[in-house]
Chains A and B, each alone.
Chain A
Amino acid sequence: MSAATPTPALEVHNMSAIYAGNCALSVESFQLAEGELAGIVGANGAGKSTFANALLGWSRGAPKVTGDILLDGESISGLTTHERVRRGMLLIPESHLVFSTMSVSDNLAHAANPTYAVGRRLYTTDEIYDLFPNLAERRDHLGGQLSGGERQMLGIARALRLAPRVLILDEPSIGLAPRLVSTVLQTVRTLVDEGLTVLLVEQNVKAAIRAVDRLILLERGKILAEGPVDEMKADPRVAEAYLGVDA
C-alpha cells in the first residue's frame, strides 16, 4: 500500500483572468506544497501580479476571474477577499503595504487573537519584534514615516499577525537597495524554515533564484516552465532572458 500523497497547501485549476474581453491570465494547473517557497518570475506584464491578486479575489479594474482555487483541499473560489484572508490566504501587495497614518504598533494590533485562526500559527507581537528589531525600535512611529525596507517588513509582520496558511509576496524587492532585498528574502526563508508556505512573485529573477526552492516562469499569462531552481537556472529560456547567460 503506497503512502497517501499530502494535500498541497494551495491548488489552482483552470484559472483565467479577463479584462474587457482580453485574457490576461490562463493557468491550467498550479500547486504549492506544504512548507514550500516557490517563486513566480517573468517579464513586466507577464501576469504575475494578476495571478497573485486573482488568488485573493483582489484587484483593480475588476477582471472576470474563473477557475477553482483550493486551500488545504477546500475550495475558496466563492469567497470574498476578506474571507479568503481569514482562511489564511495572505497577500502582501506591491504597493498598499501599511496603514501610513497609524503607528507601527496599531498596524500590528488590529488582528489580535483572531477567532478564525484556530489551528494556525499566530505570531505574537513579541515574536514579531524579535524577528524585526527595527520595527520594535520604531513601534510608535507612523507607518508613513518608515523607510521602504521597514514598510516591507511591516507588511510581512502584519500578515504574520493574521496567522497565514499561505503567504504571497508581490514584488517585495521593488524600490529596495540590494542589501535590503537580501534581508527581506532571508527573513522569508526563516519563516519558511519555521513551516510557512510562501509564494514569491518577483521580477528580480536573480534575487528570486537565490531564495526559492522552485521556480515558475510566467509569460503572457501562461506558465511556460517550472521546476526546481537548479534545473530552471539551466533552462535556456530563463538563462538567456533573465540571467544574461548564453545557454
Chain B
Amino acid sequence: MNFIQQLINGLVLGHSYALIAIGWTVLLGVARLVNFGHGQMYMLGAFMTWFFMSRFGLPYFAAIPIAVGVGVAVGYLMQRTMLQLTIRQDLVSVMIVTLGFGHVLDGAASLFFGSTGQTLDTPLSVRDIYIGDIWITWQDIAIIIVTILFFSLLKFVVEKTRVGRLVRMVAEDPKLALLAGINIRKIYLAVFAFEGAAVAIAAAMVAPRTPILTSMGFDQLIITFVVVVLGGIGSITGSYVAGIALGLFAAFFGAYVSAAYSTVAMFVLLIAVLVVRPGGLASRSGAH
C-alpha cells in the first residue's frame, strides 16, 4: 500500500466526514438541538441530486440547488412539527421525533426510489488525476475545497455576525433570549433549515464517491455523531479537526488492519479520546 495514497484518501475521507457533520455541528454544538434523522436527510440529498440528473437530465450544478431546496424544506418541516417540544427543551422527545422522521424518510425513499443501489456520476467524479502512482478525482478536490470554505464561512458567521450571536444567545439560554426580544421560534426554524441545506450540499458533494442506497442513512448518522462528539460539542474548528483525524484513522486502519472493522475502531477511538479528554479534541469552554 502506498502511504501517500492512503494519506490522500484519508484527507478526502476526513473532509467528507467533516462536511457531512457540519449541519449537526451547528445543531448540537451551537444551538443545543439534536436530529437523529440527519443520516436519512443525507440519503435524501443524494437521491434528489441523482433523481434530477438522471430523470430530468439536469446538469450536476443545477441539480444541487434543487436538492438543497428540498433539504431546507424537510429541515423546516421537521422543526415546525416539533417546535413546541424544542421550545420546552424536551430533548428526549425531540430525539424520538427526529428518529421517527428519519424512518419515515427512509421508508418513503425506498418506496419512491426503490432499494437498488444507484451511481451518482458527476462531471467531476469521472475525471481522474494521476501523479505517478497517486490517484485522486476532481470530485475529491472539490470536496476538500467546499469543506474548507464552508467551515471558514460558518465560523465567521457564528463568531462575528449578528445572526451568529443570536443563535448563540438562543443556544445558551432560550428563556433569557426571549427577554432580549429574540424570536426564538424563527431561530430554531432557521437552524433546522440550515441543517437541511448543509446536509444536502454534503450529500451532493460526497455521495458521488460511492454507490447510493436508500438504507445508507444510519451509517452517515453514526459517523456524524462520532465527528461532533470527538470534536467537542460546541466547537466548529473541533468538528473539522475531528473529521480529518477520523478520515485519516479510517483510511490507514482500513488499509493496514481491516476495512471491515473501521466503524468499530472509530468507536474505540472515540471512547479513548473521551476518556483522556472528556470535552473532545477542542475541550475549551465556549470554543467555536
Binding site for B on A (CB under 8 A): 56, 58, 80-82, 85-86, 90-93, 96-102, 106, 109-112, 114, 116, 142, 158, 162
Closest B residue to A97 using CB positions? B176
Within 8 A of A (CB), among B149-175: 162, 165-166, 168-169, 172-173, 175
Closest A residue to B171 using CB positions? A101
Inside 8 A of B179's CB, which chain A residues have their CB?
56, 58, 81, 85, 90-93, 96
CA distance A102 to B168 in the complex (A): 8
Known contacts A102-B165, A109-B165, A110-B162: does B181 contact A82 (CB below 8 Å)? yes
CB distance from A38 to the nearest CB of B (A): 20
Closest A residue to B286 using CB positions? A101
Inside 8 A of A80's CB, which chain B residues have their CB?
178, 183
Known contacts A96-B179, A158-B180: does B172 contact A110 (CB below 8 Å)? no
Q: Is the CB of B166 within 8 A of A58?
A: no
Q: Is the CB of B183 within 8 A of A82?
A: yes
CA distance A99 to B179 in the complex (A): 12
Closest B residue to A57 using CB positions? B178
CB distance from B166 to the nearest CB of A (A): 7
Of A56, A85, A93, A101, chain B has the most CB atoms within 10 Å of the CB of: A101
CA distance A101 to B172 in the complex (A): 8
Q: Is the CB of B178 within 8 A of A81?
A: yes
Q: Is the CB of A85 within 8 A of B181?
A: yes
Inside 8 A of A110's CB, which chain B residues have their CB?
162, 165-166, 169, 180, 182
Task: Please name 21 pairs of A and B residues whose Cβ atoms are closer than 8 Å in the assembled complex, sorted by A.
Answer: A80-B183, A81-B179, A82-B178, A82-B181, A86-B181, A90-B179, A93-B176, A93-B179, A96-B173, A97-B176, A98-B176, A99-B169, A101-B285, A102-B165, A102-B168, A102-B169, A102-B172, A111-B181, A142-B286, A158-B180, A162-B180
Task: Count chain B residues whose beta carbon lies closer than 8 angstroms to a beta carbon of A.
Answer: 18
Closest B residue to A112 using CB positions? B162
Closest B residue to A96 using CB positions? B176
CA distance A101 to B168 in the complex (A): 9
Within 8 A of A (CB), among B179-205: 179-184
Closest B residue to A93 using CB positions? B179
CA distance A97 to B179 in the complex (A): 10
Known contacts A82-B183, A110-B180: does B175 contact A58 (CB below 8 Å)? yes
Known contacts A82-B184, A85-B181, A110-B166: does B176 contact A99 (CB below 8 Å)? yes
CA distance A106 to B169 in the complex (A): 10
Closest A residue to B176 using CB positions? A96
Q: Is the CB of A111 within 8 A of B180?
A: yes
- How many interface contacts (CB-CB < 8 Å) are there between A and B? 60
CA distance A34 to B183 in the complex (A): 28
CB distance from B145 to the nearest CB of A (A): 31
Binding site for A on B (CB under 8 A): 162, 165-166, 168-169, 172-173, 175-176, 178-184, 285-286
Inside 8 A of A142's CB, which chain B residues have their CB?
286
Inside 8 A of A93's CB, which chain B residues have their CB?
176, 179
Inside 8 A of A92's CB, which chain B residues have their CB?
179
Inside 8 A of B169's CB, which chain A residues have their CB?
99, 102, 110
Inside 8 A of B166's CB, which chain A residues have their CB?
110
Closest A residue to B170 using CB positions? A99
Closest 7 CB pairs of A and B: A85-B181, A81-B178, A96-B176, A101-B286, A86-B181, A82-B183, A82-B181
Inside 8 A of A58's CB, which chain B residues have their CB?
175, 178-179
Give which listed residue, B165, B173, B184, contacts A106 with CB less than 8 A: B165
CA distance A102 to B166 in the complex (A): 11
Inside 8 A of B286's CB, which chain A residues have their CB?
101, 142
Closest A residue to B174 using CB positions? A96
Q: Is the CB of A96 within 8 A of B184?
A: no
CA distance A19 to B180 in the complex (A): 25
CA distance A96 to B166 in the complex (A): 16
CA distance A80 to B165 in the complex (A): 22
Using A82-B184, A91-B179, A111-B181 as known contacts, list a sample of 17 further A-B pairs with CB atoms less than 8 Å apart, ordered by residue number in A. Answer: A56-B179, A80-B178, A81-B178, A85-B178, A93-B179, A99-B168, A99-B172, A99-B173, A99-B176, A101-B285, A109-B165, A110-B166, A110-B169, A114-B181, A142-B286, A162-B180, A162-B181
CA distance A93 to B175 in the complex (A): 10
CB distance from B238 to the nearest CB of A (A): 15
Inside 8 A of B168's CB, which chain A residues have their CB?
99, 101-102
